[in-house]
């Protein structure tokens, strides 16, 4: 399964560029995003992850999220969207 990395930073300032990078990877067939390196994030990270999910679904594919930082998983839970982000461990 083809995997790409989220990068270390996913904040409002970097969201547009990171979104575009991930969309290219999904278009090329990626089905996993590894968030292990993600150390700086805000709620923009959730928006990017959801946009990547929609892009994968539009291709009739799935996108698994692996190694999501606990803080970001907690933020998704607080916003009530954790169930929209299929998270697995690598």
Residue appearing with tokens 């990078």: 21
pLDDT in tens, 23-45: 999 999 999 999 999 999 999 99
Q: Which fold has domain 3-88?
A: Transcription Regulator spoIIAA (3.30.750)
Q: Please tell me the distance from the alpha carbon of residue 35 to that of residue 15, in angstroms, as a whole number.
A: 14
Alpha carbons 42 and 13: distance in angstroms, whole number = 10
d(CA 44, CA 73): 13
Q: What is the pLDDT of residue 90?
A: 56
Six token digits for residue 84 = 């929209």
Q: Residue 6: what pLDDT?
A: 97
- State which residues of the chain have pLDDT below 70: 88-90
Residues in CB range of 6: below 8 A, 6 or more apart: 18, 22, 33, 34, 35, 37, 38, 45
Q: 89 — phi, psi (to 5°)?
A: -100, 150
């Amino acid at each position: 399964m083809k995997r790409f990395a989220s990068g270390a930073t996913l904040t409002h300032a970097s969201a547009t560029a990171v979104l575009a990078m991930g969309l290219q990877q999904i278009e090329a067939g990626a089905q996993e995003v590894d968030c292990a390196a993600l150390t700086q994030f805000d709620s923009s990270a959730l928006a990017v992850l959801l946009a990547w999910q929609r892009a994968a679904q539009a291709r009739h594919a799935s996108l698994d999220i692996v190694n999501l930082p606990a803080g970001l998983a907690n933020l998704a839970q607080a916003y009530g969207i954790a169930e929209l982000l299929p998270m697995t461990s690598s």
